[in-house]
Amino acid sequence: MLSREFHRSRRDLYYELLVDKQMAVMFAGKPKREAGDEYYPFSVYRNFYYLTGHEEPEAVYLAYCSDREIKEILFIRRPNEAAEVYEGRRLRTGEAKEKYGIGEVRYVDELDDTICRIMNRAGINTLWLDLEEKQLEEQDEERLFAAKIQRNYPAVSICNSYQALAEMRKIKDEEEIREHRRACTVTAEGVNYMARHIRPGMREDQMEAYFDFVVKKSGCGHAFSTVAAAGKNACILHYAANSDIAGDGDMILFDLGASSGYYCADVSRTFPVNGKFTKRQRQLYEIVLKGLDAAICAARPGQVKDDLQKISRQVMAGELMRIGMIRKEEEIDQYYLHGSGHFIGLYTHDVGESPKNRLEENMVFTLEPGLYFPQEKIGIRIEDTLLMTRDGCEVLTQAIPKTVEEIEALMEERE
């Protein structure tokens, strides 16, 4: 996990938003009910975690500037003996202060009174909230809080800190890169272990289970739900059932990744279920691989990230024209159905995307060209997680075979 000093450094950058008489508030999030008394596993809001390191639900982080001095308070759940029987022991304020290095820690039931005192004593005129731009739920915690503030303090302006944090998170520091490396290493171990157990006649989720074993054995989490799509299912971009039988002669597309300290890996590989590519499968597979390799070679600081997709597209279109599948470059759109890559970090599809983004050293992102041929029951996607370096990029998932020869050699080791 990340150090207390890392989170302190992120808060120091965050404070640059605040001038005198301004306050910022951020929420960790609340558990979501699944059914009855069951809840989905809690996943802390990543910007909250980025600033504090705290992972428990219902917490709130507050910082404000008064007389040009920044003060900060972390609000956590109050201990509750009945709840702790079911959920485990909760942190006390003194323990949280020591663990996170935050100036003051209180219980969250003190939040409203504390805000009232700060608003009045410090003369707060501006409130910064983290209003995620893609958030579709109009009644989320932040917006409800903003509405309450505006009712009670109509002269206070509401500002959005989301984009500033997105820009901050695009460039990774040494600790973040270490977590990405570990996630990619575990992902590679999991994919290679899985490939050694694939057999015709297995269900897709039976293959997936070998990857799951390695991830859990390593003490990591899953970056996202695994796609294991055999045959025609590989042409469904967000296939989720993972329940079909993989036949002899099928190819299977995996899209998966581990996470370490919330930092993600994201990989796609497409393997022949029986361990050997047919001539046709190899022909189409190597077209996608050429598209990926061309984009990786072009990835360097200053390169417009989204233009890498154009490079993959152009290379693959040229190859499809060469074998007579299309006559014009634009006809590739019937086979190439998605974008080619995204930033990756605390979320798999991470913050900071913009068509004008230029790559910078210590950005982490993916490239994932793919071609899909439903009429042939073949879908191929090859994806790597990459780290921008001073003069190019490092493929963090290089340990997972990509060439036809590497894949067939790996699968010859099947147990």
Over residues 219-245, the pLDDT tens digits come to 999 999 999 999 999 999 999 999 999
pLDDT in tens, 3-27: 999 999 999 999 999 999 999 999 9
pLDDT in tens, 130-162: 987 655 455 588 989 999 999 999 999 999 999
Tell how far CA 45 is from the center of its chain.
12
In 23-158, which residue ranges form alpha helices assigned H by DSSP? 46-52, 81-87, 93-100, 111-122, 141-152
Other C-beta atoms lying within 10 Å of the C-beta of residue 201: 10
Band of residue 393 on the pLDDT scale cut at 50, 70, 90:
very high
Percent of the chain with pLDDT over 70: 98
Residue 134's pLDDT is 53
How many CA atoms, within 13 angstroms, populate the side-chain half-sphere of residue 137? 5
The token duo for 374 is 């439903």
Which residues have CB under 8 Å from 157's CB, separation 6+? 125, 126, 127
Which residues have CB under 8 Å from 345's CB, separation 6+? 169, 170, 172, 176, 180, 263, 264, 351, 364
Mean pLDDT of the chain: 95
162, containing H or E segment: helix 162-170
Question: What is the average per-residue pLDDT within 111-134?
Answer: 92
The token duo for 307 is 């233009």
What are the angstrom distances between the C-alpha of 64 and each of 18, 128, 150, 151, 339? 7, 10, 18, 20, 41
d(CA 273, CA 270): 9
The better pLDDT of the pair 189, 83 is held by: 189
Band of residue 34 on the pLDDT scale cut at 50, 70, 90:
confident
| pLDDT higher than threshold 70 for residue 208 | yes
Residue 339's pLDDT is 87
Return the biggest CA–CA distance within the chain: 76
The better pLDDT of the pair 117, 414 is held by: 117
Band of residue 415 on the pLDDT scale cut at 50, 70, 90:
low
| pLDDT higher than threshold 90 for residue 414 | no
d(CA 308, CA 298): 7
The token duo for 85 is 């029987």
Residue 133's pLDDT is 64
Band of residue 355 on the pLDDT scale cut at 50, 70, 90:
confident
Residue 139's pLDDT is 58
d(CA 315, CA 287): 8
SS3 content of the chain, % helix, strand, coil (to 5): 40, 20, 40
Residue 120's pLDDT is 92
